[in-house]
Each structure stands twice: as C-alpha cells, then as structure tokens.
C-alpha cells in the first residue's frame, strides 16, 4: 500500500499515463490502475474526480459527456498536448528518484567514519 502522500503525488502522472492508452472515464481509469499495480495502488475512488477537474482546468486533459454502448452516460477524459508535456516532465522526475534509489539498493557503499 502507498502512503497518503505518495498516493497523492503519483495520481497526476498515473492518470496522464493511463490516458496515453486512449480516452477513458473515471471508473475504468481506477480499475486500470488497480489492475496494473496488482491491487497495491488503492485510491479513495471519489477523490480522483476533483483531481481530474483540476487537471482539466490546467489544460492537461479535456472531457466530454457521452453515452456508452450500454446507454449509460459517462464523462470521458482525453489527453491534451499540455498533458503530454507534463507527463514527460513527471516521467523524468520519477525516473530520477527511481534510478537513485536503485543504485543505493543494488550497490550500497558502506562508509567508515
């Protein structure tokens, strides 16, 4: 399980990354993240929506109400150019953290004082 802070920090990059696979709606987005993380990333589901609305306001994504094949109307979110740019920046940040930690975990160099 992620800590609260890490879950909050990773929401935007995760949403952007899932949307690179194509437009999607909130419920399916959460399912996709749960499936990819093997159930280790569990959000308080309703909290995703304010984040989506904020991302839309920032111009990263856009949304549209549309009826699905089942007839149920859903709000679909789609990536915008600004979002792709943000995703690239986020990717660099997360990779920096990841690579640094990996080096330390794989080849720790004990220091003698």
Partner 1 sequence: METPTTPFDLNQAIQRWRNVLAQSPAIRGENLDELEVHLRDSVATLQARDLSVEEAFLVATKRVGSNMVLGKEYGKMNPMNIWTERCLWALIAMQIWEVIQNGFISITCLLRSDYIFVSGSPHLGWDTIRVIMVGMLMPILLTAFIFWRLLKSPASWMGRFLENISIYPATLAALLFVLNAGGHLFGMYCFNYAYHNSDVGWLLYVRFLPGSLCCAGLIFFLARKRVLRKA
Q: How many CB atoms lie within 10 A of CB 96?
A: 10
**By CB under 8 A, is residue 50 in contact with partner 1?**
yes
Give the Å distances, CA to CA, from 44 to 2, 9, 36, 50, 51: 12, 14, 17, 12, 12
φ, ψ for residue 34, nearest 5 deg: -65, -45
Residue number with CB closer to partner 1 (20 or 27): 27
φ, ψ for residue 25, nearest 5 deg: -110, 165
Contact pick of 12, 15, 24, 26 for partner 1 (by CB under 8 A) = 26
**By CB under 8 A, is residue 3 in contact with partner 1?**
no
DSSP state of 110: P
Contact pick of 73, 84, 93, 98 for partner 1 (by CB under 8 A) = 73
Residue number with CB closer to partner 1 (30 or 87): 30
**By CB under 8 A, is residue 72 in contact with partner 1?**
yes
Residue number with CB closer to partner 1 (72 or 111): 72
Tokens of 10: 């990773």
Residues forming the site for partner 1 (CB under 8 A):
25-28, 31, 44-47, 49-51, 53-54, 57, 72-75
């Amino acid at each position: 399980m992620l800590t609260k802070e890490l879950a909050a920090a990773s929401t935007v990059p995760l949403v952007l990354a899932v949307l690179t696979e194509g437009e999607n709606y909130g419920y399916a987005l959460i399912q996709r993240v749960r499936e990819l993380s093997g159930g280790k990333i569990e959000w308080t589901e309703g909290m995703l929506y304010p984040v989506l609305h904020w991302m839309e306001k920032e111009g990263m994504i856009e949304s549209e109400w549309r009826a699905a094949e089942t007839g149920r109307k859903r709000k679909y979110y789609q990536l915008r150019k600004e979002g792709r740019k943000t995703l690239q920046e986020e990717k660099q940040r997360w990779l920096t953290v990841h690579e640094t930690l990996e080096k330390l975990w794989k080849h720790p160099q004990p220091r003698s004082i």
